[in-house]
Chain A
């Protein structure tokens, strides 16, 4: 909706990259924790350097997503929401109309009853 097929494809691609990044980060975090446990500081620092780069990848993905979304127009979506609101108003008007019809019918019957009494 509102997004073009190209934009959607790009967003899907970014989502895939996001998953891959997360999986990779999860593995490196395990290595970092293991190195910390065994006291291997060099290995721990190496793992942390990789994690920083993976954080940078996340920043890039986030900003790319924003760029794609910010290149989209809101106009069609605004119109769609306005149409939905209009349907809601119509539904409310229908309920009011039913209520008014029942009221008119009750008044009519009251008048007919009075007339019935007069001409009886």
Chain B
């Protein structure tokens, strides 16, 4: 009865573990987001830098015109023994962080996204949890080697290590892997609504008065002229309107493909896919690997029953 009960419990345990503990390899999803961010970065950063410089100049002028303080020096009043002031800097007193989105805020957002995806890549790689597994193996080996010692306490420890060494390594490695993936899940879940709103705001800010908006407007105008020209019964006007519509459509497509909104949308979708991958199960191989690890854990538990 006890054995049957244990088997039942282990099966339930395996099912429960499988639902929540599979460790999916999400490195490709993160790498694709990082690639998209790099594209965004190369396209947008020069333009944002130029706009941000304009914002600083405008803010400087506003403060100067109002007679307010523009800059203050910080740590520029205490030279070291070499006559240097390594931390001497200028503090800009205009507040570019508050108020509607601007290039300065958008640049900060890009920097934060880069830092975020960098830590995701680190967590997604097995490096740190593998190090825990390796160190657990080393510990088990050290305990096993201690069997050669004459101390009774060490001999007891060593005997236990010999009996449970593999399971200890498996358990520790498994828990480290689960901790890693749990942290990754929590991180991505927490960041997803932030990334969604950031990408929407940056896209709106850059495309509001940009080429995409102008091309969209031109497309609707061209469409209207085609209908009016068709209604007028003038073949020449109609022919010209059709040509204009083809041009407007091509220009709209070009503007759309090159617009910040396009890349921002892809970035948002890519992060959404990453979240989905982390919150749904893994592949059959990943499930199998998890089962193997769970079996090792269960074997330890069995020994204690």
Contact = CB atoms under 8 A, between A and B. Distances in A.
A9 interface: no
Contact of B138 (A66, A80, A102): A102
B116 interface: yes
Most A CB contacts (10 A, CB to CB) among B122, B139, B193 go to B139
Interface of B: 97-101, 105-106, 108-109, 112-113, 115-116, 119-120, 122-123, 128-129, 131-132, 134-136, 138-139, 141-143, 145-146, 148-151, 154, 157, 172, 176, 179-180, 183-184, 186-187, 190-191, 193-195, 197-198, 200-205, 207-208, 213, 216-217, 220, 223-224, 227, 230-231
A99 B200 CA distance: 40
Interface residues of A, number: 54
Interface of A: 1-3, 45, 48-49, 52, 55-56, 59, 62-63, 65-75, 77-78, 80-82, 84-85, 87-89, 91-92, 94-96, 98-100, 102-103, 105-107, 109-110, 112-113, 116-117, 119-120
25 contacts: A1-B197, A48-B227, A52-B220, A52-B223, A59-B216, A73-B97, A73-B99, A74-B105, A81-B191, A84-B190, A85-B119, A87-B183, A88-B116, A88-B119, A91-B180, A92-B128, A95-B128, A102-B135, A105-B142, A107-B142, A113-B142, A113-B148, A116-B146, A120-B149, A120-B151
Contacts of B200: 69
B112 A117 contact: no
Contacts of B132: 95, 98-99, 102
A95 B183 CA distance: 11
Main DSSP-derived SS at the A contact region? helix
Nearest to A57: B220
A107 B143 CA distance: 10
A75 B122 contact: no
Nearest to A42: B231
A57 to B, nearest CB: 10
* Top 7 A-B pairs, shortest CB-CB distance: A116-B149, A91-B183, A69-B204, A120-B150, A102-B135, A95-B128, A88-B119
A70 B100 contact: yes
B201 A91 contact: no
B224 to A, nearest CB: 5
Contacts of A87: 183, 186-187, 190
Given A69-B205, A116-B151, A91 B135 contact: no
